[in-house]
Amino acid sequence: MRIAVDAMGGDKGPTATVVGAASALIEDPSLEIRLFGPVQTLEAEIARLPRPMVAAASRLRLCDAPTLIPQSMRPTQALRHGDGSSMALMLACVAAGEADVGVSAGNTGALMALARRALGMVAGVPRPAISTAIPTHDDGRCYLLDLGANVEVSAARLVDFALMGDIMARHVDGLAAPRVALLNVGVEATKGTSSVREADAELRRIEGLNYRGFIEGDGVFSGAADVVVCDGFVGNILLKASEGLAKMLVQRVQATFEAHWSSRVIGVLARPALKRLKNELDPVRYNGASLLGLAGIVIKSHGGSDAAGFHYALKRAVQEVRRDLPSRLEAELVHRRPVAPRV
């Protein structure tokens, strides 16, 4: 499997992407990874790889991309001036069929705009939606979308999100009938914005969709749904707030055990349980957001991810390639979403 990587996009620079890519190659010998960025910079990073990862260097192919797209660049600027960037050349590689999937930790808006231009969309979907999994009760997970690509959306777009989330959960995770819910300020039919209420009415009419109605914020993490749909403004805030809360809880628990000698003794005994809790809540495990609706596969890694986080994003990319998600979206959305143009 061939993966194209924008090696320059993340907050931590190429160090995280190169080490993450090398560790993914060691874990999965079937992968071939192309790194896009200034060749001299990438060669220097490969030379600094830890000794256990040196063997992976032979399967890292370097592709020269002299410029990068900064986080501050607007999508319109990226479309006009970003052709020689590591992000644009990575996407061109996917569009040409030279890679099966592209991965970037770079500027989200630029990635959305460039990916849409390079790869196109499936089944008349107007714009991609960003989706990722979040941890839920009993070590489960729930797909949340949209996470920021579409800040203000119509009822029709919310319906698209629900259908795409359902297809992804069935084909990537193997769920026979994913439970789909709309995020709202209450579960009563009269609650929420007009677009949310209209989407609720339309989703109830779609045959074969296991739609469960409205869900409130506290239900997202309870395991009550497998797919939760909302606009990008709400979804992004929910995701970032949950990541911050998880970090704070782990830090508070650790600080409590370290506050006094007696609690430190208890902390030593509880260390295995605390480690499990930290691992379960760690956002790194769920890194790798799908850009659903594209006619190709692109995975967005969190901009602040370290090498371990980027490794998880690559694993997510492998999952989607093996399930051929864009083809499944195209085949099913053509029959399930309304034919009328959507905005």
Percent of the chain with pLDDT over 90: 55
**Rounded distance between C-alpha atoms, residue 224 and residue 134, angstroms:** 13
**Rounded distance between C-alpha atoms, residue 302 and residue 240, angstroms:** 11
Q: How far is CA 295 from CA 81, 100, 117, 287, 327, in A?
A: 23, 12, 10, 22, 8
Contact 320, 290 (CB under 8 A): yes
Read out DSSP for 137-169? Answer: GGGEEEEEE-SSS-SS--HHHHHHHHHHHHHHH
Domain coordinates in residue numbering, the chain: 1-128+293-343, 132-284
**Rounded distance between C-alpha atoms, residue 136 and residue 232, angstroms:** 20
Q: What is the pTM of this model?
A: 0.86
Task: Establish whether domains 1-128+293-343 and 132-284 are of one fold.
Answer: yes
* β-pairing verdict for 289-292 and 129-136: antiparallel
Predicted local distance difference test score (pLDDT) of residue 263: 65
Between the ranges 124-133, 177-186, 234-243, where is the mean pLDDT highest? 177-186
**pLDDT tens readout for residues 132-171:** 888 887 778 899 998 888 888 899 999 999 999 999 999 9
Alpha helices in 127-260 (DSSP H): 155-173, 194-203, 232-258
Q: How far is CA 154 from CA 196, 197, 204, in A?
A: 8, 11, 17
**Rounded distance between C-alpha atoms, residue 225 and residue 258, angstroms:** 37
CATH 3.40.718.10 fits 132-284, yes or no: yes
**May I ask the CATH architecture of the domain 1-128+293-343?**
3-Layer(aba) Sandwich (3.40)
- How is residue 304 annotated by DSSP? T
Predicted local distance difference test score (pLDDT) of residue 286: 64
Which three-class secondary structure state does DSSP give residue 268?
helix
